[in-house]
Structure 1
Amino acid sequence: GHSEAVHIQTREPLSVAAARALLAEAPGVTLIDESVDGGYPTAVSDSAGNDPVFVGRLRQDISAPNGLNMWIVSDNVRKGAALNSIQIAELLVKRL
């Protein structure tokens, strides 16, 4: 699978709590973000063989104003190649 440390910076302040709420409602996203050992997603234990994108370890970025850090994992074969192609085709069919 793919694993990425993602750093974003927003125009307006976005709290970690607000980001968690947005991600928890996002289709195709599973949020695993607990302050315990193993409270974050891994490519092996969570994303392998699954369609969703898993997000965890949300933190304020102390190096950038309005910045957030997060850890994102997904099964690159299922989501990155196969499922993504199907989702794009479904969108095209809806628009035609």
Structure 2
Amino acid sequence: AFNVLPAIDSLQDNGYTREEMKMHWETQKILEDDALAVNATAVRVPVFFGHAEAVHLETREPFTLAQIETLLHAAEGVELSTETDPGLAPTPSAHAAGHDPVYVGRLRKDFSHERGLNLWVVADNVRKGAALNAVQILQGLEQRGARQR
């Protein structure tokens, strides 16, 4: 307790941990894109609940923050914080605990890469995890089935 652990799960031959490789593989699988490059560093912070990620994305085309904000506002299950005070950015305990949405904040362009974007993402891993995702997938399939009849 009271420490940050720099590796989760077993170390693989490539120097990444199994947890980091799972993030790579699962993202490719979910987005159906085996060419998608995902480079993760997973650390364990002993807290009672919640997941948090500092995410860096690189897009194919240039973008504006307004375009990204529009996409995130329209995304189901995502709550975008436009708070400019870093001390008020979403956290697992203050924002996500006991709630279904994924909270996104600290949205900013990466000054080191023309098409780079950085953001902070938090969620309650008990509520927004495999169980809730399974329910949402089933609801989506049910809606599609109902439309096709």
Q: Please report the TM-score for the alignment, with normalisation by the length of structure 1.
A: 0.89
State the alpha-carbon separation in 2 of the partners of residues 65 and 52 from structure 1: 30
Q: Would you say 1:36 and 2:85 are equivalent positions? A: yes
* SS state at 1:76 partner: coil
- Matched-pair contact (CA < 8 Å) for 2:86–2:106: no
* SS state at 1:71 partner: strand
- Matched-pair contact (CA < 8 Å) for 1:33–1:39: no
- Matched-pair contact (CA < 8 Å) for 1:10–1:67: yes
Q: Write the deviation string for residues 45-93 of structure 1: whole angstroms up to 9, x where unpaired.
A: 0001100000000011122221100000001111112211101112233
> What is the CA distance between 1:37 and its match in structure 2?
4.7
* SS state at 2:127 partner: helix
Q: Would you say 1:59 and 2:117 are equivalent positions? A: no
Relative contact order, higher structure (CA 8 A, sep 6+): 1
For residue 124 of structure 2, what is the aligned residue in structure 1? 75
For residue 98 of structure 2, what is the aligned residue in structure 1? 49
State the alpha-carbon separation in 2 of the partners of residues 25 and 94 from structure 1: 19
Q: Would you say 1:27 and 2:76 are equivalent positions? A: yes
Q: Which runs of 5+ in 1 are unaligned?
A: none
State the alpha-carbon separation in 1 of the partners of residues 77 and 53 from structure 2: 17
For residue 15 of structure 1, what is the aligned residue in structure 2? 64
Aligned residues: 96
* SS state at 1:8 partner: strand
Larger Rg: 2
Q: 18-27 vs 72-81, which deviates more?
A: 18-27
State the alpha-carbon separation in 2 of the partners of residues 40 and 17 from structure 1: 18
Q: Please report the TM-score for the alignment, with normalisation by the length of structure 2.
A: 0.60
In the alignment, residue 13 of structure 1 is paired with which amino acid? P
In the alignment, residue 88 of structure 1 is paired with which amino acid? I
